[in-house]
Amino acid sequence: MNGTITSLLNAVVQKTGAQNRFTQTSANLAVNGFLFSAKFTVPASYTGKWDFLKEIYVNVTKRIGSGNGGAVALCSNVSLYDILSYSDYVAGVSMSSTTFTEGEEVRIAGYADIGYFSMTSRDALEVTVNVGSKTAFPNNDVTLEISAVFNQVMKTQYKCYQSAKATGADQPYKNVLSIYYIGAGLNADVVVNDEIGTKAVNINSAIDMSNAIGRFEFFTDFGEVYHDQFGLSQDCSMRVPNNNNPSVLIVTYSFYPEETVNSLTETIVQRNALIEKIKNNEPDKFQYLRAIGAINA
């Protein structure tokens, strides 16, 4: 993936340190997704692997400074373990090692697509990392980095992520695209009521299916239990058994039609200006692009 990668937050977590919250704000960015990474040097007798990622929660909010304002919760209390599991499912993760040998620096990185948005000088992107009890943390420092990735201009759209703990009762969510179960397998059903009807999915089968079709390299206790069949997003409620204290990742859309119209207009203007430049300066290239259908002019 080519493009621009901009660091949004770089933090060092110490198991014995008092600080457990890190915040940074950026502006004037174009963003297609977020890159998450963690690394540490393996201490003696360490057996926790990446379990400590379950104690790290990420919030990313775009604050809109124009029009009626507003805030888009792109990541809402998302477990870093959950989002890296999702990355592993859709495309894999980057890992320097799976052995966790004493003295070795290990690293993991994953990516989450959020669609596309661009920011003006009045907008702000706020990134906050909250660290929980640190009980599973290695004794050595853990370096966390979150970056914004930009690779192509599109219509503005916001794909958003949030983690939740299963309660065993109905839990409602708006504009849901998909729901994922993260935890040990269980011979029980997740029941989802969407705007079409009721769907029940066996957890063990969902994990097996996701592992069969996903691109996993490491996180395999992961199963898609709901997917909007139309790709439009639906309001729904989920009922997830909490026998194994699983986490649930919910992927949603967030709608801001005015921003989509404005960004589409901006994209058309920029594209037309580029086409006109090619036409005037590189007529052979212009003719080729038109011949293959890249330009309709």
| Same structural domain, 79 and 162 | yes
Contact at 8 Å (CB) between 71 and 126? no
Domain assignment present for 272: yes
**Backbone dihedral angles phi then psi of residue 261, each to the nearest 5 degrees:** -65, -45
Question: Digits of tens for pLDDT over the chain (297 positions)?
Answer: 457 999 999 999 999 888 899 999 998 898 999 999 999 999 999 999 999 999 999 999 999 877 666 899 999 999 999 999 999 999 999 998 788 999 999 999 999 999 999 888 888 999 999 999 899 999 999 999 999 999 988 888 899 999 999 999 999 999 999 999 999 999 999 999 999 999 999 999 999 999 999 998 899 999 999 999 999 999 999 999 999 899 999 999 998 756 655 555 566 666 677 788 888 888 888 887 888 878 876
Q: Are residues 199 and 280 in the same domain?
A: no
Q: Are residues 189 and 265 in the same domain?
A: no
Residues 91 and 48 placed together within one structural domain of the fold:
yes
Residue type, 209: M
Same domain, 203 and 237: yes
**Residue-number span of the structural domain to which 88 is assigned:** 4-260
Report yes or no on 70 lying in a domain.
yes
Q: Look at residue 297 and tell me if it is in a domain.
A: no
Total tally of structural domains belonging to the chain: 2
At residue 1, the pLDDT reads 43
- Do 150 and 272 sit in the same domain of this protein? no
Same domain, yes or no: 57 and 91: yes
Q: C-alpha dihedral over 9, 253, 155, 257, to 10 degrees?
A: -110
pLDDT for the residue 67: 65
CA distances from 266 to 118, 120, 156, 277, 278 (A): 10, 12, 11, 17, 19
Write the DSSP assignment of 122-134 as a string of letters.
T-EEEEEEEE---
Statement to judge: residues 244 and 287 lie in one domain: no
What's the rounded Cα separation, in Å, for the pair 9 and 1? Answer: 21
Distance, in Å, from the CA atom of 117 to the CA atom of 126, rounded to the nearest integer, reads: 14
Q: Are residues 279 and 179 in the same domain?
A: no
Instruction: Look at residue 296 and tell me if it is in a domain.
Output: no
Task: State whether 20 and 151 are in the same domain.
Answer: yes
Residue 116 maps to a domain? yes
Q: What is the pTM of this model?
A: 0.87
Residue at 141 is within a domain:
yes
Beta-carbon contacts of 151 under 8 Å, excluding residues fewer than 6 positions away, are: 1, 2, 3, 4, 32
In-domain check, residue 28: yes
Q: Same domain, yes or no, for 89 and 205?
A: yes
Q: Assess if residue 119 is contained within a domain.
A: yes
Q: Are residues 228 and 279 in the same domain?
A: no
